[in-house]
């Protein structure tokens, strides 16, 4: 019999706040975390808005001399991990260290450091490059730093599967525990890629909203007037552990993780597969892994990026999974408030799904004002909703057709 795996901690940092409960409070209030970009000069950019983490003081979590060794995504991961560890009341003892692992993803990693050090090299030659350039940049160093700080010596890894990365990290961590390679995993993802090259690159693809005059209204998943996604930054981290381990140390589970699925579109480098085939397969694989039918799902936290094609195709996939019941299943996209955290999105949204189960309330899709005939589900428009939620499904889909989904169960 598979070992039961529970969530005992959630750490969230994003444009909607610094800290789990602050983020959750603002999401339920329908408060947007999107505004004008301040991290770089946008005067030459078509897109001038993003979901920045405001008032971030790295010194709260990282000593000044250590900060030069870290890209922004690492600082965000450390902050979210500390919130998650605090909620879980987790202290990694010498006895538990080899059985406690870290699995933290990022889609892009230290893009900010790459740009900074490249500019230094162009101005002064290779001798100007910082000796910390590589470790500040590579994706696995978020997991590396959290491991060093917590003393977790168990499985240590990172995924870089675009916008599915942190959902894959959580799912992989779940399976690591299930197969008895660890008892506890600190897992999720982080992204800190609001940079001139990153935003400029996504804009060159025509993927971003340019509703610059109304930043708070720019991310509008499933709305007929959506014109692209808004880049966000932040981190979402979960503490997963066996039920036995949680009970042994007196920790209170928040939810149980019961399903994980993966799929590939085998279709296009950026567009989702026609008819939502890949999204359909990943959701059904997750339900099959959990050994439950679609009828038990009470809420879907959608990938819902606010792109014209993506939202319509996810809607088709949800209809294929839930059939006649599809319009009765609430589906919301919290990216309407946080923006799209890229590789950090799945971790953030998994945490949000867990909190929805904890508090029995669904976060809204804000800016839903103009119904789209192609998007005709219940998107929890504009206002949070009290509901009975026993199972919550969280979707993440990435460039290259890499998909992940996670299923969480209410803890009672």
> What is the pLDDT at residue 280?
98
Going from the N-terminus, what domains does the chain have, and what CATH number goes with each?
Answer: 5-248 (3.40.47.10), 259-410 (3.40.47.10)
The residue behind tokens 């162009």 is 122
* Residue ranges of E strands in 139-293: 156-157, 184-191, 234-242, 255-264
Is residue 205 within 8 Å of residue 290, measured between CB atoms?
no
Q: What confidence tens digit (pLDDT) does each residue in 115-143 have?
A: 999 999 999 999 999 999 999 999 999 99
Q: What confidence tens digit (pLDDT) does each residue in 56-105 have?
A: 999 999 999 999 999 999 999 999 999 999 999 999 999 999 999 999 99
Per-residue pLDDT band for 1 (boundaries 50, 70, 90) equals low
Nearest to 358 by CA among 335, 389, 394: 389
Q: What confidence tens digit (pLDDT) does each residue in 226-243 have?
A: 999 999 999 999 999 999
- Which residues participate in catalysis according to the annotation? 163, 303, 340
Nearest to 83 by CA among 137, 8, 140: 8
Say what the pTM is: 0.98
The rounded mean pLDDT for the chain is 97
Q: How far is Cα 380 from Cα 246, in angstroms, rounded to an integer?
A: 33
Q: What confidence tens digit (pLDDT) does each residue in 322-360 have?
A: 999 999 999 999 999 999 999 999 999 999 999 999 999
Is residue 71 within 8 Å of residue 109, measured between CB atoms?
yes
Q: What confidence tens digit (pLDDT) does each residue in 166-192 have?
A: 999 999 999 999 999 999 999 999 999
Q: What confidence tens digit (pLDDT) does each residue in 139-167 have?
A: 999 999 999 999 999 999 999 999 999 99
> What is the pLDDT at residue 242?
98
191 C-beta neighbours (distance < 10 Å), count: 35
Give Cβ neighbours of residue 213 (< 8 Å, ≥ 6 apart): none
> What is the pLDDT at residue 2?
78
Q: How far is Cα 93 from Cα 382, in angstroms, rounded to an integer?
A: 45
Q: How far is Cα 34 from Cα 51, in angstroms, rounded to an integer?
A: 4
């Amino acid at each position: 019999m598979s070992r039961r795996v529970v969530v005992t901690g959630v750490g969230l940092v994003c444009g909607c706040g610094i800290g789990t409960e602050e983020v959750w409070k603002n999401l339920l209030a329908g408060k947007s975390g999107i505004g004008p970009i301040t991290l770089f000069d946008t005067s030459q950019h078509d897109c001038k808005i993003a979901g920045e983490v405001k008032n971030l003081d790295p010194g709260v979590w990282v000593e000044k001399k250590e900060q030069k060794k870290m890209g922004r995504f690492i600082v965000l991961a450390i902050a979210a991990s500390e919130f998650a560890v605090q909620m879980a009341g987790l202290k990694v003892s010498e006895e538990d260290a080899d059985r406690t692992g870290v699995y933290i993803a990022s889609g892009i990693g230290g893009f900010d450091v790459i740009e900074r050090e490249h500019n230094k090299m162009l101005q002064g030659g290779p001798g100007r490059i910082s000796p910390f350039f590589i470790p500040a940049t590579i994706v696995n160093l978020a997991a590396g730093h959290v491991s060093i700080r917590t003393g977790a010596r168990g499985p240590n890894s990172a995924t870089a599967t675009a916008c599915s990365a942190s959902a894959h990290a959580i799912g992989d961590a779940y399976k690591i525990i299930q197969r008895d390679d660890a008892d506890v995993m600190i897992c999720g993802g982080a992204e800190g890629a609001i940079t001139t090259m990153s935003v400029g690159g996504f804009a060159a693809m025509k993927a971003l909203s340019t509703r610059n005059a109304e930043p708070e209204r720019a991310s509008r998943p499933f709305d007929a007037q959506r014109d692209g996604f808004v880049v966000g930054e932040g981190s979402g981290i979960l503490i997963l552990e066996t039920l036995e381990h949680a009970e042994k140390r007196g920790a209170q589970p928040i939810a149980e993780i019961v399903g994980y699925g993966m799929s590939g579109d085998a279709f296009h480098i950026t567009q989702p597969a026609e008819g939502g085939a890949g999204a359909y397969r990943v959701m059904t694989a997750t339900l099959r892994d959990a050994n439950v039918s679609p009828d038990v799902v009470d809420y879907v936290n959608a990938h819902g990026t606010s792109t014209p094609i993506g939202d319509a195709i996810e809607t088709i996939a949800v209809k294929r999974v839930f059939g006649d019941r599809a319009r009765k299943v609430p589906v919301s996209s919290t990216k309407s408030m946080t923006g799209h955290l890229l590789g950090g999105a799945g971790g953030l949204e998994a945490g949000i799904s867990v909190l929805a189960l904890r508090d029995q309330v669904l976060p809204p899709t804000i800016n839903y004002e103009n119904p789209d005939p192609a998007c005709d589900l219940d998107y929890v428009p504009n206002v949070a909703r009290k509901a009975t939620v026993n199972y919550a499904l969280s979707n993440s889909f990435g460039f290259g057709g890499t998909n992940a989904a996670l299923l969480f169960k209410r803890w009672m």
